[in-house]
Structure 1
Amino acid sequence: MKKLIILVLLISLSCKKNVEDKVNGVSFVSSGDEVAQIHVNPVLDIHANYAAIMPFGFIPEADSSELLFNSERQWFGETRVGAKQYIEMLHKNGVHTMMKPQIWIRRGEFTGNLTMQSEAEWEKLEDSYSKFILLYAELAQETNTEILCIGTELASFVKNRPEYWNRLIAEVRKVYKGKITYAANWDEYAKTPFWDKLDYIGVNAYFPICERQNPTMQTMREGWQPWKTKLKELALEVKKPMLFTEFGYRSMDYTGKKPWLVDRNEEKVNLQAQADATQVLFEEFWDEEWFAGGFVWKWFMHHDKVGGLADNRFTPQNKPAESVIRKQYAKVKKYSL
């Protein structure tokens, strides 16, 4: 009888879904400085359990195959040495990390439009990009980084060179044994062809949810429904958890109309709209089993010098939205798929 009971328990355990903590993350912006404890304390204060570390590679123009990275001319946090120091300091404080190497095109041109004009130029870009990603894949393995993001908002690159991305994923798997994702833009994720080869469906969740100047929470909830349905359908179809590799809103009027805007507009500061939009996103997604969590955009090292009540930018720091995040991240949430 005792053996039978043990056997039943083992079978029961083997049938249970894999259950993990939600990713309660921040996008930790690179700086020219090393990370010190004073910079990590605000991350701990909002109960974040993950931080995305973002070393950068630079491209002169949207049709250029020249990718410059890990250079002495870059800020400390944008390099391999800096990324390692950031990760080690965060890990020391019990904060998990996602390595998220990103491209910056001169003048801030949209990376989704990165397109080469010839086969030779594509191959040159691919060679350079592989070196960029593999450099940080090796660092992610060395530092026991929990998640690696192999690209961010590269729609044209992905569309035009699908075979390359399959090869890149295979090469990354050889050197990095953690979980892998890709950060697809909100209007790109449904066309991304390699989700079945990754561990998370990564989405930068800047979905338009409301065109009102001063949106109500109910209006924003309604605006989320068609997007949420499609996100859930994809997660269940591919059998991969959905991860918001970036999410967030600007603290301004019309915050839900075009949440991806990074311009320097002087739109009126609207702190409540940012807080409400963030709360609605949490309410819509954080209790879903197919949803793994996400990384708020964006979080700066020098907490006491950023954000504030007169700022209409993305950061929630020193704004009501920070309290919304703190309250949500303090909860114990799980996901399973």
Structure 2
Amino acid sequence: MKRFIIIGLMVLLSSCDIASVANKKINGVSFVASRDSINNTHVTPVINLQANYVAIMPFGFIRNLEHPRITYNSNRQWFGETKEGVQQYVKAFKTQRIRVMIKPQIWVSRGEFTGKIKMNTEDAWTELEETYSGFILDFAKVAEETQTGLFCIGTELETFIDHRPEFWSELISRIRKVYSGKLTYAANWNEYNRTPFWNQLDFIGIDSYFPVSNLKTPSVESCKQGWESYKPQLKIFSENLKKPVLFTEFGYRSVDYAGNQPWESDRRMNAVNLEAQLNATQALFETFWNENWFAGGFIWKWHHKHDSSGGEENFMFTPQNKPVEVLVEDWYTRY
């Protein structure tokens, strides 16, 4: 841990020329559901990170990309993915003054990309709309009952949206009738600029896996240069819609080429590179956290058993027990 503290101090000194505070941000973590309930043992590490928000993510499951029926709130699921589990998680965090976004997500069998969900018949599309509405509206009601301040209506569903835009507009209207908080949608990084319903929502939500560097160990500067291809368009998009951008997911794996295809979760990419994760994450903070049109974000992802999560040998996304955790705490403390 001493090594992490030293690296963290180096990061802090290297970024001291950035203004300490622009405005209050959503400094969030994407909190992974578990088979168990949670308590202060699991909440305290989130507090120590200086996070002020968590995304709680109940899952619905479909058999394949052409299957229209979503299964959710099942006794075969982990507790944290169910309605009862979400209610318990929200209470545990709100008791400790951590705000919550409920972010229902779909898992396709074998981990296929949700953005490619596409039905082959009109009847199948109608059934998908019915089952998705049930899934989302049930958790929107949970969000209202628990007085959760932010609700995400979907995650990376671009083909579904492209083919059924009227359904989505109507679904948002139905959500507004049962939920009184703020709404967003988690668009994939290459999807947000054609999502048709931002004017009905409160935040432009983006899962921010933009490719920013093709270097094995990208420097902070190379990643910041990579962001120059995207940041101006994001700013203009936000200003034109008069809505802030929220990174509904952000983060990098601790692997070689972390900034090249940041969405990639293939476990065959297993060459641990803590510096690549650290530099890419620092560049993201330096690029966005001081911008008034930027609302903040939720780092991907955070496991409930902090002491046994992540670590120096871990090559996945979590910042836990890695040098990047010190970096995130530093930036969350400032905002």
- TM-score normalised to the size of structure 1? 0.92
SS of the aligned residue for 2:66 comes to coil
Instruction: Provide the residue aligned with 1:60 in structure 2.
Output: 63
SS of the aligned residue for 1:330 comes to helix
Q: Among residues 178, 192, 199, which one is paired with 1:175 in the alignment? A: 178
CA distance in 2, matches of 1:141, 1:228: 34
Instruction: Provide the residue aligned with 1:73 in structure 2.
Output: 76
Q: Among residues 94, 97, 108, which one is paired with 2:97 in the alignment? A: 94
Q: Among residues 113, 117, 120, which one is paired with 2:116 in the alignment? A: 113
Instruction: Provide the residue aligned with 1:288 in structure 2.
Output: 291
Q: Among residues 311, 317, 335, which one is paired with 1:308 in the alignment? A: 311
After TM superposition, the structure 1 = structure 2 runs for residues 109-188 of structure 1, keeping only pairs within 5 Å, are 109-188=112-191
CA distance in 2, matches of 1:218, 1:36: 40
After TM superposition, the structure 1 = structure 2 runs for residues 246-261 of structure 1, keeping only pairs within 5 Å, are 246-261=249-264
Shift of 1:20: 6.8
Counterpart residue type for residue 68 of structure 1: T
Cα distance per residue 1:121-158 (max 9 Å; x no partner): 00000000000000000000010101000000000000
Tell me if 1:325 matches 2:328: yes
Counterpart residue type for residue 120 of structure 1: D
CA distance in 2, matches of 1:175, 1:226: 39
Tell me if 1:33 matches 2:36: yes
Counterpart residue type for residue 325 of structure 1: V
Shift of 1:306: 1.1
Tell me if 1:223 matches 2:226: yes
Shift of 1:267: 3.4
Shift of 1:214: 1.2
Counterpart residue type for residue 73 of structure 1: R
After TM superposition, the structure 1 = structure 2 runs for residues 182-201 of structure 1, keeping only pairs within 5 Å, are 182-201=185-204
CA distance in 1, matches of 2:59, 2:275: 32
Counterpart residue type for residue 78 of structure 1: E
CA distance in 1, matches of 2:109, 2:133: 20
Counterpart residue type for residue 201 of structure 1: I
CA distance in 2, matches of 1:42, 1:98: 18
Cα distance per residue 1:214-249 (max 9 Å; x no partner): 111111110001111111111001110000000000
CA distance in 1, matches of 2:334, 2:182: 24
Q: Among residues 208, 211, 224, which one is paired with 2:214 in the alignment? A: 211
Instruction: Provide the residue aligned with 1:237 in structure 2.
Output: 240
Count of matched residue pairs:
314
Structure 1: gaps (5+ residues): 1-18, 333-337
CA distance in 2, matches of 1:84, 1:118: 36
Instruction: Provide the residue aligned with 1:202 in structure 2.
Output: 205
Identity, % of aligned pairs? 52
Shift of 1:266: 3.9
CA distance in 1, matches of 2:270, 2:123: 44
CA distance in 1, matches of 2:128, 2:23: 37
Counterpart residue type for residue 129 of structure 2: E
Give the alignment's Cα RMSD to 1 decimal.
0.9
Shift of 1:291: 0.3
Tell me if 1:48 matches 2:47: no
Shift of 1:21: 2.6
Give yes or no for contact 2:216–2:276 (8 Å, CA) kept in 1.
no
- TM-score normalised to the size of structure 2? 0.93
Tell me if 1:263 matches 2:266: yes
CA distance in 2, matches of 1:236, 1:91: 32
CA distance in 1, matches of 2:200, 2:264: 31
